[in-house]
Amino acid sequence: MTYCLGIRVAAGLVFAADSRTNAGVDSVAVYRKVFVFEQPGDRVIIVLTAGNLAITQEVISMLDRGIATDDPSRSLAKVPSMFDAAQLVGKLVRVVYDRDGAYFKAHGSEFSASFIVGGQIRGEPHRLFLVYAAGNFIESSEDTPYFQLGETKYGKPILERVLTPEVGLVETAKCALVSFDSTIKANISVAPPIDLVMYRTNAFRVATHQRVQDDDPYFNQLCRHWGEGLRRVFAAAPDPPWALDHGDAARTLPLDPIVATAPAK
């Protein structure tokens, strides 16, 4: 499994991905899923990958070869907008599909791949896209300021509670790490190291790129703060007003009409 996360706030972009891949729990490996392309002063483009590793590596390799060319239809260094960057990634997935799709089908494998593509090119605001295996894509919005790939559910509640476009860049990064903490605690196939990239709006260079290991002192401090804080909030939660242990009077609901109380013998 994988967990990848891309967030767009007014202050910038935050990307995070674990680095565990697996083909069944007996075949687990560490692969980078975050790829950064930076041309300082002009553009920063970040690509996160999820799905079949053979597909995503092929797409990344083609992006890499494209950068060596001066062709705006192939090179992330030359695409005129982030929209074109997302379109290029989508086009390359289709190249792989056209070549490999029939073999995937023949072997009963799902053609599974998805990408988060974000960044900023001079002359445009910073933007964030989600590219599907079919090569089509969507862009984030004020209402939906983030995209997730892979094991998305465990880490979503904290994103929903905290993220708005006004949240600062460092707070956004903390939120991403807490979201990873919740996911890692719940799904053994998502694991550190976590690649974390932060980009500040209009900087046209990466602000920081961290590889957060299992024993990272800051990550552990943050997780401990979060876990202890949650338990503290929980301990202070108000008690329900319901009477307990008072027999029938305490049941504000009649017992179920289908399976009801049997007459006492």
Beta carbon of residue 27, minimum distance to a second copy (angstroms, whole number): 22
Between 103 and 218, name the residue whose CB sits nearer to a second copy.
218
What is the β-pairing status of strands 137-139 and 127-131? Answer: antiparallel
Q: Which part of the chain contacts a second copy (CB under 8 A), choosing from 1-9, 15-23, 102-110, 209-217?
A: 209-217
Using CB under 8 A, which of the segments 1-9, 97-105, 132-140, 228-236 binds a second copy? 228-236
Cα–Cα separations (whole angstroms), residue 31 to 6, 20, 109, 174, 195? 18, 6, 21, 23, 11
Distance of CA 181 to the CA centre of its chain: 13
Task: Give the tokens for residue 35.
Answer: 């790829």
- CB contact set of 17 (below 8 Å; sequence gap of 6+): 2, 3, 4, 5, 33, 34, 48, 49, 194, 195
Q: Is 122 in the site for a second copy (CB under 8 A)?
A: no
Q: Which of 125, 186, 202, 213 binds a second copy (CB under 8 A)?
A: 186
41: amino acid identity, one letter? G
Nearest distance, CB of residue 103 and a second copy, angstroms: 24
Task: Say whether 96 sits in a helix, a strand or coil.
Answer: helix
Judged by CB under 8 A, the residue of 26, 142, 166, 256 near a second copy is: 256
The set of residues, in sequence order, having a beta carbon less than 8 Å from that of 205 and lying 6+ positions away, is: 38, 40, 41, 44
Q: Does residue 11 sit in helix, strand or coil?
A: coil
Q: Does 138 bind a second copy (CB under 8 A)?
A: no
Q: Decide: is 123 part of the binding site for a second copy (CB under 8 A).
A: no
Site for a second copy in 39-68 (CB under 8 A): 39-42, 47, 60-61, 63-64, 67
Is 171 a binding residue for a second copy by CB under 8 A? The answer is: yes
Looking at residues 14 to 33 of the shown chain, list those that interact with a second copy (rule: CB under 8 A).
32
- Within 151-170, the residues that bind a second copy by CB under 8 A are 153-154, 156-158, 160-162, 169-170
Interaction between residue 143 and a second copy (CB under 8 A):
no
Closest among 130, 170, 125 to 146, alpha carbons compared: 130
